[in-house]
Amino acid sequence: MTTEKTSESKKTSKLAYAAFISVAFVGGIALAWGLQQWSSDNNTPVAATGVEAYGGDFMLEAPWGKSGLPDYRGKLVLAYFGFASCPDVCPTSLGVMKAAMATLDESEQAAVRGLFISIDPERDTPKKVEQYAQYFHPNFHGLSGTPETVAHVAKQYGSLYRKVETPGSSMDYTMDHSSVIYLIDQQGVLREKMGHGVTPGEVAGKIKKYL
What SS3 class is residue 102? helix
Residues 31 and 110 in one domain: no
pTM of the model: 0.77
What SS3 class is residue 11? helix
Residue 112 φ/ψ, nearest 5 degrees:
-125, 140
Print burial letters for 95-121: b (CB count within 10 Å at least 16), e (below 16). Answer: ebbbbbbeebeeeebeebbbbbbbbbb
Residues 3 and 76 in one domain: no
How many domains are contained in the chain?
Answer: 2
CATH number at residue 164: 3.40.30.10
Distance CA 124, CA 126 (A): 7
Residues 80 and 147 in one domain: yes
User: Mean pLDDT of successive 10-residue segments in the chain (211 residues)?
Assistant: 44 41 36 39 44 94 98 98 97 98 98 98 98 98 98 98 92 95 98 97 98 97
Distance CA 29, CA 92 (A): 31
Give the tens place of pLDDT for each residue, 63-117: 999 999 999 999 999 999 999 999 999 999 999 999 999 999 999 999 999 999 9
Domain limits for position 105 = 48-210
